Each structure stands twice: as C-alpha cells, then as structure tokens.
Amino acid sequence: MYRALYLTYRPQTFADLAGQTHIAETLRHAVKTKKFAHAYLFSGSRGTGKTTAARILAKAINCLSPLEGEPCLSCEHCQLIEQGETLDVLELDAASNRGIEDIRTLRDATLLRPSKLPYKVYIIDEVHMLTQEAANALLKTLEEPPDYVVFILATTDPQKLPATIVSRTQRFDFKRLLPDVIQSRLQMVAEKEGIKLEAGAIRLLSVHAEGGMRDALALLDQARAFAGETITKAHVEQLLGIPQDVHIEALLQAIETAKLQEISRILQEMYADGRDAVRILTTLMQAMRERVLGQKEHEQTQDRFDATRRERLLTIMTQMLTLEPLLRRSYDPFLFLEVGLIKASAESHAPSATGSTIKQADGDGVHLKAVEKAASTFQTKASGSNQKTSESIEPPSERTLSAHPGETSPSSRKTTRREQKGVWQSGSTDKLIPFLDEVSLLHIQSYQSRWSELLNRIKAYDIRTEAWFKQGTPAAVHEDMLLIVFSKALHRETVEKEEHRIRIEQALADVFGRPLKFMAVMEEDWLRTREEVRSGKKAEAMVDGSHEDPLVREAIELVGEAYVEVIDRRKKG
Ligand SMILES: [Zn+2]
C-alpha cells in the first residue's frame, strides 16, 4: 500500500523539525535537563509541525537512552510509541471527541499509573473544539495533574481556548513555514524518492503550500501521481490551476488596452485549460502590482503617459480587490471574473475616468477619485438612442453635395467603402452584434456625456461636417469603434464620405485622447438588432430561473440586469 510522503518523511527528532528551530531547541533542552512541564500548548496553523513535535516529545521523555534530549528511536519505548502499541501515549482528536464524557474517561485514565513507560502522554489535537463542560473538566485535571502525566494540547485556534486553560500550560506558537524551508525539504524528499523536480516546480509547490509542510508534501504526492517521476513547472501549474505567464501577460495587455472581446477570449481559453479563477485573479494582481511598483522606480524619467497608465492600473486593481470574495463564494467564479475584469477595464478607459486621472495626477488618492467618478458615470443604465439634442441646424443643402459630382457616383462610393473599415453595409446586422455586448452599452454613456464637446471640436474643423454629424446619436462603443445611429439615410451616407470622416475621427482622437473610428448605421437597423439580441437573452434567462440565485442577483446589482447573462457551465461539463 502506498504510504503518503508526509507520513514517510515525518520528522523523527527535534533537530529534524523544519522551520521551528527555537521551539525544538527549547523542548530538547527541557528533556535533557529533565525540566519539562506537565502541560504544553502548541498553537499554529495546520501543517506547521504541532503534532509531530508532540510525538517527538512523547518519545524523548520516555526514551531509555536519550541523546542530548533527542529520542534514540530504537529502544523498546521509542518503538512501542512509534508502532502505537502502548496505551501510555494517547492521541485524542477533540474535533470528534469533544463531549464531557470523553474528557471524564480521559481524566479517570490519568489516575492510573502508566503500564510500561515512565510517563503517560496525552496529546489532544484541536483542543479548542471541546465543549464548555469538557473544557472545564479538562481544566480540573490540568490544575492538579499526577506527576507521571504530561498533557500536550494542540490547536489551530488558540483564541477560542478559555484563558484558564492557556494559563495552565507552557505555550509555543508554531510559525508558518517560509517557502525556503519547505523548498529545501521538498528537495530532500524528492532526492530520496528519485523524483526529478524542476526548480520552477519546487518553487511553485513551496509557495502554494501556504506555510504548511503537510500540504507541501501532499501536493508533491499529487504532482507525482499526475506527472510521474519527472515533474515540471508546467505540471504543477496545471495541477494547481495556476495560469501560465504568457496568458497572464496577454490578459493584462487586453485589460490595459480595453480589448474587451480579447479579455473574454483569453479567459475562455484558460477555463478550457482547467485554470482556477481565483488563482488567475491573484496572479493577475501580482503582475499588475509588479508593473506599478516597477514603474515607480523610474518616476523621474516618466512622462505623462506613464503616469496615466499607472493610475489606470491602480484603478483596475482597486476594483479587482472587491472581486476575490465574490469569486470564492460563486458556483461559477469564471462568470464573475469575466464580468469583473471587463467592467474594470472598460471603466478605466471611460473618458471621464481617464480625464480626471490626468488632471489630478499629482494628488494623492488619484485612483480612488477616478473610481468614484467612473462609478457615478455607470450608475444609470445606458439608454442608447434617445439622446438627441433639441437644437436643430439644417444640414447642408443638396447643392453643396452636387459640387462634388464624382463622389456621388455609385462606383466611386463602392471603392471608398471597401477601403474604409467600419463602413456600414445595409442589412448586415451581424456587424452590430459586438456593440450589444453589455459592456459596450455601459461604456457609451461616457461618450454621450461629452458629445457637445465633440461637436464643438468638429465644428472647429468644418461647420458642414458638424452639421451633418450632429444628426446622429452615439449608441454604443466596441473597442475603438463608435456606433452612431441616424434616422435619415442621407445624413448617414454623407458623414461617411472621406472628407467628413477624416475630420470626425480627428476630433474624436482630440477629445477622447485615443484613436477612434465610427460606424454610421440606420436607427431602425440598430433598434431591430438590439431587440432581437435582447429578447433572445431574456428567453434563456427565464427558462433556467437563474435569477433566483443570490450570486446572480449580486451580479445584477453590481452591473445592472441588462448586462448579466447566465451561462451554467456545469451542464456542459
Ligand atoms: Zn529510545
């Protein structure tokens, strides 16, 4: 039968007790000088060596030929304890034996002298789990223990112990093990077991054991079962669901540049690859943190763009902080990760947020202001098409157009259209679907709020362009493409002409601080497509009743009902 590595390589001596040198040394000295206490309290998080130390201590004080306070491990007493063949050393798990009767039985047993060994040793694990009555009964025993009895109480949660018990014991706090300590032990175990362990793999295992040796060795066991005798970094990443660097890099890039579709695509890839949503989030946060800190070191040589970029990262990170608890409670953490990252990315690129960041880049707490501003921008849902200004200027007359007869001929228009990305082909509503992404709709508000500023800018270039363009309404934005809807075909077609398009796109870049294109569509096409997509989504959501789910409700509160789509991945897997 296979024996778990953490059992096989459990430390047998104080000297071998990794990472708790001070405790081990104190205990060894106490045994050596025969000045050990009759009640110990070992506290510390799981896997830090509490019960291991208790067993070593039980052997050491009973050993027939101890060596400098260490158990010899070969005498009759050491062997009896090791094999669990003596009732003089007893381990009790207080998590499952927590009642008053259990402790009474134990107390009665302490009244009898040990049958074979010099000392009776009672190791009570998770002692904080005892009931009130049981704890009181234990306290009585601790107050006047027979001199042949040693109690070793172990707990992961010393705060829950009555102070009266704690004060009767000699207490040792076991520290979490540092990754270095875990790493060298993993190295040793791997060598003895003939496992080839890549340096990157060891590092990952030791970090993800979170300070516990038992977890570290259990992970090594799993990795071996998964990968065989040669374990690479990629194996461990796969095992732990840790995202790969290249994916994190790509994701960070997409978030920083607000490539929302790309964020979604990379996440889907990572999901299919079995990566863990919480680990993706934490790894991403670490990568962002490194970028922000890395940038700060070169602050003197930084230009304005770098400062903006850093504040943008901080804005995103601030939002991501609130995501982790949501992910941990969610049955579909990927959904929350996706919505959360897309939202954070889109909001950090909203002109209002970026604008405020640039203006206040010298002050403290800049990113918080940006977040507040972004939050208020998105409090109300984007409404899309009813933002027309009441002010109305007649568009340029037909005569103005006929001054350029070449442009209106069908053939030349066709050529121009093929060259221009984003020109609307009537009837091809598929092109509109990306704009119906929840975040696109959410995002457009910040453009709508600065629409008059944009029109003024266009007017400064050419008043005719502005007169045509202002007939349209910003309805959605997707990546670098603004969707403008028009109710009259003439207006729509005219703004698409090269001369107008150039001015409009220049003005867009001026006002919003990044290259933007626009697509002009007919209002009726836009509204119809939007209705089709929305009614499709609504029907799905009603069928599975997922709105009942508290997490879905929470998501809806977070971003608004129109923007939450529920995908139950369990049904597919
Ligand atoms: Zn011995």
CA 369 to chain centroid: 24
Q: 89 alpha carbon to ligand 1 midpoint, in Å? A: 14
Q: 144 alpha carbon to ligand 1 midpoint, in Å? A: 28
Q: 113 alpha carbon to ligand 1 midpoint, in Å? A: 20
pLDDT at 352: 52
Q: 72 alpha carbon to ligand 1 midpoint, in Å? A: 4
Q: What are the chain's domains?
A: 5-174 (3.40.50.300), 179-240 (1.10.8.60), 245-377 (1.20.272.10), 381-387+404-573 (3.30.300.180)
Q: 73 alpha carbon to ligand 1 midpoint, in Å? A: 5
Q: 63 alpha carbon to ligand 1 midpoint, in Å? A: 4
Q: 79 alpha carbon to ligand 1 midpoint, in Å? A: 7
Cα within 13 Å of Cα(388), Cβ side: 13
Q: Which residues surround ligand 1, an ion (CB under 5 A)?
A: 63, 71-72, 75, 78
**Longest Cα separation, the chain:** 116
Cα within 13 Å of Cα(173), Cβ side: 5
Q: Residue 352 and residue 373: Cα distance in Å, rounded?
A: 7
Amino acid symbol at 278: V
DSSP string, 135-163: HHHHHHHHHS--TTEEEEEEES-GGGS-H
Q: Residue 69 and residue 109: Cα distance in Å, rounded?
A: 27
Q: 202 alpha carbon to ligand 1 midpoint, in Å? A: 34
H or E element that contains 122: strand 120-125
Radius of gyration of the chain (CA): 34
Residues of the chain with pLDDT under 70: 295-305, 351-429, 437-442, 536-573
Q: 17 alpha carbon to ligand 1 midpoint, in Å? A: 17
Q: What is the pLDDT of residues 120-177, one digit of tens each?
A: 999 999 999 999 999 999 999 999 889 999 999 999 999 999 999 999 999 999 999 9
pLDDT at 383: 31
Q: 143 alpha carbon to ligand 1 midpoint, in Å? A: 30
pLDDT at 357: 38
Please list, in sequence order, all residues whose beta carbon lies within 8 angstroms of the beta carbon of residue 79, skipping any fewer than 6 positions away: none
> C-alpha distances in angstroms, 277 versus 289, 393, 572?
18, 53, 18
Q: Residue 157 and residue 173: Cα distance in Å, rounded?
A: 11
Q: 103 alpha carbon to ligand 1 midpoint, in Å? A: 29
Q: 66 alpha carbon to ligand 1 midpoint, in Å? A: 6
Q: 67 alpha carbon to ligand 1 midpoint, in Å? A: 9
Q: Residue 11 and residue 25: Cα distance in Å, rounded?
A: 14
Q: Residue 525 and residue 520: Cα distance in Å, rounded?
A: 11
Q: What is the pLDDT of residues 423-434, one digit of tens each?
A: 444 445 677 777
